[in-house]
Amino acid sequence: MKLYSAPYAPNPRRVTMFLAEKAIVDIEVIRLDLQKGEHRDPAFRTKSPLAQVPTLELDDGRTLTESRAICSYLESIYPEPSLLGRDAWERAEIEMWDRRAELLFTLPLMMWVRHGSPHLAAVEREQTPEIAAYYQKQAMRLAKWFDTILADRIWIAGDRFTIADITAVCGLDFAKMMRWRPGEDLPHLKRWREAIADRPAGKVAA
């Protein structure tokens, strides 16, 4: 299998962190330069019609292009350690927290960076300062909420590391482009981020 990825982008990093945590090493990772528009190359579009990364290409040529779908597929092939849940309740609970992490936290952080960072002007061709300001406010509000959640648990979905933690940290680390990191005002979120650094997934470059 081949994984088409891109450095620093949150959605591709979500999958590469997933690979690292599961110690999956038999998938070839091909990195595309988004700044140069390599994801828009006609040859790549035959694999990913919407020019999306990550894209997982199976040995028979079939492709998956959504990060969560790719992770679900890989979990079925490499079930241990489980990052999506071992039974019906765990799978549902982890998916609930993963959706919250993605839609309520990571997405606002990504939109803030995409519309606010001059480094992404070549990728985000119609940056809008008002959009950046709106999503910054949303992201900071939810950062406080996640900080309260992490006050009485080690990881976002409970007592073990899951895809929900990967999803949230991908957005959080992307916001370094806006020079934001959780500080002493968000002690539980800060502790959680520091704990991730010691894990295999935490070794994947942001």
**Predicted pLDDT of residue 7:** 83
**Predicted pLDDT of residue 119:** 86
From residue 72, alpha-carbon distances to 68, 84, 135 in Å are: 6, 8, 28
Mean of pLDDT over the chain: 96
Domain boundaries, the chain: 2-77, 88-201
From residue 18, alpha-carbon distances to 8, 41, 103, 175 in Å are: 15, 26, 19, 20
pTM: 0.94
Write out pLDDT tens, residues 30-40: 999 988 889 99
> Does domain 88-201 bear CATH number 1.20.1050.10?
yes
> Does domain 2-77 bear CATH number 3.40.50.2300?
no
Write out pLDDT tens, residues 126-158: 899 999 999 999 999 999 999 999 999 999 999
